[in-house]
Chain A
Amino acid sequence: MLTRRIIPCLDVKDGRVVKGVKFLNLRDAGDPVDVAEIYDREGADEITFLDITASHENRNIIIDVVYRTAERVFMPLTVGGGIRTLDDIRNLLKAGADKVSVNTAAVKDPEFVKRASERFGSQCIVVAIDAKKIQKTGDRRQKAEKKENLNSELRTPNSELLRWEVFTHGGRNPTGLDAVEWSQRMEEYGAGEILLTSMDRDGTKEGYDIELTKNISETVGIPVIASGGAGNLQHLYEGFMEGKADAVLAASIFHYREYTIKEAKEFLRGKGVNVRL
C-alpha cells in the first residue's frame, strides 16, 4: 500500500539554510546539502528546498545547491521559489531536481502550468497555494446557501461559510481567487500535486488548517501536501487523518530536533497511519 509521506522543508537564501538548523555532528548546518543528507539518512520521504533568495543575480546559486544535492541524496527533491519560466524549470530538473513548485507564476499566468506540465510532465509540476481564511457573508449568502447542502460540516456556528483566498508573495498579496476553485483549476491545467500552505497557521505551531486541507484534498484527484503550522507529532497525525493529506510538510519541528523523522514515523505508525519505516 502507498504510504503517507513526511517532507522536511528547508528555506534556502543565497545558497544557505535560513535560520540555524540545530543538528549535532553536522559539518555545516548552513549547507542545505549537508542537512538534506541527514534527512535522507533518517528516512525522510522527500525533501523540499524553498528558495527565498531575493536578488536576481543570486538565483543561480540554487541550481548549484541542487546539483550538489543530487550527488549525495537519493530521494525525491522538490525546489520552489522564484520559478518564472520553462527554462527555470528545465535548469532545475537538469541539475537533479525531481519536481518544481510554482506559486506566483501560476497566478500571474495559469497557462504557464499547462505549458510546464505538457513539456515536462504533470508528475514534476507542483502548484503551491498559500491560502488565508475569510468568511462569506452578505451578498455572498445566496451562493453560500446553495453550497450549504454540499458541505454542511464546513459551516461555522453562525452560519457563515468558510472560504479561503489565494495569496502570493509569502502571504502579502491577495489575489481574489478562491483556494478550492483554484486547486481544481490547477489540477485541470496539469498540476501533479498541490502544496497547500495555510498562511493563518504558518509559523504558529498550532497545527495545520484541517478544514482547508480536507476541503482541497477531497476536491482534487491529485495528491495534496499539508503545510503551515506543524508544532508537534499530533499535528502531523491530524493532517493525515482529519485533513486527508497525502503528505505533510514541516520545518522547525525537525530542524530544531524537537523530533527526528524516525520518531515522527513511529508515532504515526503507532496510531495506525501507514508510513514507511
Chain B
Amino acid sequence: MPNFVIDIAHMLAGGLVLLSFMMLYQDRLYALINVFALHALVLTLSVAWQAYIQNAPHLYVTAAIALVFKTIVIPVALHKIIRRLGIHRDLETALGIGPTMLAGMALVALSMVLMLRVTPEADPLAREDLAFSLSVVLLGLLTMVTRRNAVSQVIGFMSLENGLVLAAAGAKGMPLVVEISVAFSILIAFIVIGVFLFRIRERFDTVDVSALDQFRGERR
C-alpha cells in the first residue's frame, strides 16, 4: 500500500480529532452545531476513503448514511429546534476552556499510549485509526460532561458515535449490518432525546439540565 494512502487516512482521522477539540471550546450553540456538521463531513470523507482503499463497497453506504443524516438532517433539525424553542444560544460550561483543553490533550495522549501498546501486531493503518477513534470517543464524553446544556450533551453524544463509526470503518471485515444498526440506534436516540428536549422545555422554559435537578429538589 503506498504511503500516501495511509497518510490521507491518518490526516482525515486526525482532522476528526481536531474537530472534536474545536467542539470543546465552542460557547455558542449554532457554532457548536456547525462544528458538529463539519465533524460528520470529515467522518464521511474518512469512511469513503476507507471504502476506497479497502475496496469495500458497503462502506460507501455507511459514508452515505453519515453524510445524509449526520451532516445534513440532524444539524438542520437541531437548528430548527433551537429556533422554535428560542433556546438561549450561549453555553454555560462547567469547566473553564483552558482546563477542558488540557484534559482533552491528556485524553488523546492516553488513548495513543494505550492503543499503541495493546495492539503491537495489528495492521498499522487500523492501529492508528483505533487510537484516533478512541480519542474522538473520549473527547465526545468530555464534551458531554463539561456542558450544562441538554442540546450540547446531545451533540457530544453524537460526536462520540462518530468515533465509533470511525473505528468500525477502520477495522476490516466489519459487517454492514452492524454499522447500519449503530447508525439507526443513534438516530433513534436523537429522536428520543429531541422529544425529551421539547418536554423539558415545555415544563421548565429552559433546556439547562440543572433545572431538572432543581425540580428533583436537589442542590447543585
- Do chains A and B interact in one complex? no
Residue positions of B touching A, CB distance < 8 A: none
